[in-house]
Chain A
Amino acid sequence: MSTLTSDLAQELETGRFQPDAPLPKPRRRRVKTRLGQAAMYVVLVVLLGVVLLPFIWMLSSSLKNDADVLTVPIQWIPKEFVWSNYADIWSAIPMAGYLANSALLAVVITVLQVLTGSFAAYGFSKVRFPGRDALFLAYIATIAVPWQAYMIPQYIMMQKAGLTNTFTALILLQAFSAFGVFLMRQYYMTIPDELNEAARIDGLSDYGIWARIILPLSKPALASLALLTFVNTWNDYMGPFIYLSSNELWTVQIGLRSFIGQYSAQYAMIMTGSVISIVPILVIFLAGQRYFIAGIATSGMKG
């Protein structure tokens, strides 16, 4: 690859990841900035209270007895702390197995979605061919059709293929969504076409351009796509519910709802499980944070 291409790419990468890098600020704005920062923190903390309230309820409910969860008025602090809920849930339902199943599905679907989505997005944004935009619009518009509408035709298709009660069915259904294509396409549109041109002059094929230039430059978008796909798959209930009949294949969401019986429900356990099932998402979110913060070194594109 020529120095031109790699220089352009590198400039883009470093240039992008520092949105508010220290720019010279005149002296008299420094005090205002500090006050502004303090005010910012206050706003953020208030915001925090509002967004975390239901989670606090979840947390508090997970430490109660079932009968104390849904009380009127709400008891924010449990009368007695039932720490054993966090121990019991692993034997009340095969929670570890369910977590593993959910993880499997989420990881496989996320990886496939990110790969095929970003691959297709290149075609929709960097290559021009007739009917491209119309196809893209139709693609997006199908996201609008609620799943209840085509749930049964889809199921019949899977049943005929003998794929009911398998993970494969869910993977095939969810790994090829238009959402990933859409997200990556919009991000690719912010990458200047000059880069493509330079790379083409260097002799790279489109596939090479995608793999070695475009993909590394789109880390923030890839991170956000991965995160959102993971979250959506992890929290998906109806899909696994309809397709997975065997108890061994159940995911966390099904497992948690199994505490809701016909005539009574163990809400404390449900909340315990819900709190536990949030942890992987937090881990992934925090891990992906680095793509949304300044100062990433380039991925070794020199030369």
Chain B
Amino acid sequence: MLKMAVLAKQVPDTKHVAVDVMKPDGTLNRAALPAIFNPEDLHALELALRVKDRVGGHVTVITMGPPGAASILRDSLARGADAGVLLTDRRLAGSDTLATSLALAAAVQKISPLDLVLSGRQAIDGDTAQTGPQTAEKLGLPQVAYVEAVREVSSTRITLFRRLGRHAEVVESPLPVFITVTTDAGEARPPRAKRLLKYRRARVLSELRGELSKGGLNGEELERRLAAESAKLQEAGLLLPTWGVDELGLDPNRVGLAGSPTKVKRCENVVLKTGEYKQIEPNEDGARKLIAELVHDHILG
């Protein structure tokens, strides 16, 4: 029986490069990107669930983001996770990887002791692969990155297959350990119908509040209904906890923009540019002309 935490992120689908998410000037309209479960975090969850299949255990998924990120907690629960926690707070916004790792480490500490902490190698919006190792450092845990498979696992040790560039290794580590998982790991299991049905109703408090106020409630009546509804969800195990800066015991100066050593000086949208461009006919004549030109310019020998 292993107690595990999976750190997951909801991200804009940056791979979704299609006309419907482009602005007229040819740059990306970030707001139009659909939000998805970061792929490598999904693989991390899958690895945790496979460990659970083998030796039993408990998997908590932790995500940091705006209230909408709760949807990946529901997704995780539907796939087999046992609990989900949302870290959300306006003061966390703008956190770089260092600040984020502080918040994530605090959340992991709150549910410690744990045997295994997992996350995807990197998120498809930042692509830094830094948050995992930085969280591991703050937790004082050894780290094994680029994991593709769990070979063996017991209550005290785990054997992992990981790829470090040119070399692949089989690495043994005592527990607890922090691992990051890549897309080369096994395919993630889909949500199970029964769990999907059950966890569809799971909510964080702020989502519930939003839904009730959209339904026309406000003031005292809203608060009364909110208390009643949340109590019902709580009893059914469907109220997902929300932790902010205070619950995590964080120093506000060490998170958010203030706590981020890296600053964005400027961001330039990539535009599909045209430089010098020559159209070549797809026939034999065109082929000859192209080859001749490339040879003439010493591009081809």
Q: Do A and B come from one complex?
A: no
A residues touching B (Cβ–Cβ < 8 Å)?
none
B residues touching A (Cβ–Cβ < 8 Å)?
none
